[in-house]
Amino acid sequence: MPKPANPYAQTYANFLKNTEEHVLNVIHNDGLYRHLRFQEPGTRMWSMDLVTWPGHLATSGDIGEGLVFSREEDMIGFFASAGKVDGHYSDGAPSIDFRYWAEKIQGRGLVDVRKYDAEFFLQLVREHLEESEELGTEAQEFRDRQLALLKKIDDLRRRYSCNQNLPSLDERLEQHFTAQDDVHGFENSIATLYTGQGTMRRRQHDVARKALRELWSTDGLSQAEMDGLDDWFELADIEIPRQSPVERREEILDDARWHAESEHQAHTWLRDNEEHVGSDTWEWDLRSFDAHFLFACYCIDAAVRLYREHLAAQQAAEGTDAQPSVVTGLRVEAGPEQLAAVLDFAERGIGRELGAIDPRMTYTDDEAAAMKRHFEHARQGIDALRSAARKEH
């Protein structure tokens, strides 16, 4: 199964380009009190400092200036796994849940990592139009099928008809479109305000109905030929709009582009075009994550990964396992109340991490299996701690 495309591919490519020579300097490392610097040797350009203390991680430097995150006692452990899957996208980027990470920023009322995005506004309009009943992709497919059926009928009629003056399909379509235009133009004109409008309206509708009958006429076709028109009852005798749904969507999008310069203009356009986009667009959030925040998240992810690799190498050099898969020989130096609190915290932590998984994300079989193993190992660790506690107490 191919990996999905990264929706933030450009930002990730910029991150790789500007940090390809970066290394991690561990300036201070004392339990949960750490100072890490992610930088290219010899320069502070595109660098980031990460400082942690219990329950917090703060960033400073060229990237991510002034961000303070808080979620778990060890924020390095949090950023190592929470809300992300390594190598998820086709460009090798991790699938970071930026929304979830942003929620952990302290003082979010003062730090806004999102801004108005004109392209995001146009994307929302495009997606809504593509799903609409009159202008969506299904409406376009229906119109295409109607035209294909008309072509088939026209070919059959010309093959067996003795009438050499049979109007072409294009001519009959134009008559149909013109009659439609006249009806719609009349309904929207000031003429409807005057006496006699009922007679005029009936005339216009009579002309339109006649053009529709001639457009879908099957005169001269045998019953066997009619039986071969599988889509007749679904598609025939239904008006065909002159402008295709695709053309109309592009026309509406072009108009939206003229009003996409600011968030205020965009919302004003949405309010003035409710017939196309609906009446609930006031709820639309037209902001997307700022590229600087996305870049900072990629830096945090890289720094945390390098730090964990550093710890693993250090522990291996000291002859210890970096991450033992089974807890053995554990001695518990705590009372029953403390142990119960730790176990309760761990149980709740697993529940929170499970709840943080975004069901909208698409995972490969390998990624899903890795996530399952991660939670199984956490469960095994809790069980081992509980077993050790029972032996000690």
Q: pLDDT grade, residue 337 (50/70/90)?
A: low
Q: Tell me how far apart the alpha carbons of residues 340 and 241 are, in angstroms, rounded to a whole number.
A: 70
Q: Can you give the pLDDT at residue 391?
A: 53
Q: Tell me how far apart the alpha carbons of residues 78 and 101 are, in angstroms, rounded to a whole number.
A: 10
Give helix then strand counts, H and E, for the chain. 15, 7
Q: Can you give the pLDDT at residue 250?
A: 95
- Encode pLDDT of 263-313 as tens digits: 999 999 999 999 898 888 888 889 889 899 999 999 999 999 999 999 888
CA-based nearest residue to 300, from 94, 159, 115, 136: 94
Whether 242 shows a pLDDT value over 50: the answer reads yes
Whether 384 shows a pLDDT value over 80: the answer reads no
Whether 235 shows a pLDDT value over 60: the answer reads yes
User: Contact, 170 vs 177, CB < 8 A?
Assistant: no
Which parts of 323-364 fold into alpha helices (H)?
336-356
Helix (H) or strand (E) holding 53: strand 48-53
- Encode pLDDT of 5-17 as tens digits: 988 999 999 999 9
Tell the residue number behind the tokens 């399952």, with chain if given: 372
Q: By three-state DSSP, how is residue 39 classified?
A: strand
Q: Tell me how far apart the alpha carbons of residues 212 and 204 are, in angstroms, rounded to a whole number.
A: 12
Q: Tell me how far apart the alpha carbons of residues 123 and 7 are, in angstroms, rounded to a whole number.
A: 12
Q: Can you give the pLDDT at residue 328?
A: 27
In sequence order, what are the beta bridge partners of 23? 39
224: which residues sit within 8 A by CB, 6+ positions away?
none
Whether 125 shows a pLDDT value over 70: the answer reads yes
Strands 56-61 and 23-30 turn out to be unpaired
Q: Can you give the pLDDT at residue 327?
A: 27
Mean pLDDT of 141-156: 91
Q: pLDDT grade, residue 101 (50/70/90)?
A: very high
* Eight-state DSSP code of residue 216: T
Q: Can you give the pLDDT at residue 113?
A: 86
Residue 262 has a CB neighbour count (10 Å cut-off) of 12
Q: Tell me how far apart the alpha carbons of residues 216 and 117 are, in angstroms, rounded to a whole number.
A: 47
Amino acid identity for residue 263 in this structure: E
- Encode pLDDT of 256-275 as tens digits: 999 999 999 999 999 999 98
Q: Can you give the pLDDT at residue 330?
A: 30
- Encode pLDDT of 181-195 as tens digits: 777 665 555 445 554
Q: Can you give the pLDDT at residue 66?
A: 82
Whether 65 shows a pLDDT value over 50: the answer reads yes
Q: Tell me how far apart the alpha carbons of residues 232 and 209 are, in angstroms, rounded to a whole number.
A: 18
Whether 85 shows a pLDDT value over 90: the answer reads no
Q: Can you give the pLDDT at residue 183?
A: 73
| Phi/psi of residue 23, nearest 5 degrees | -130, 170
CA-based nearest residue to 307, from 318, 299, 297: 299
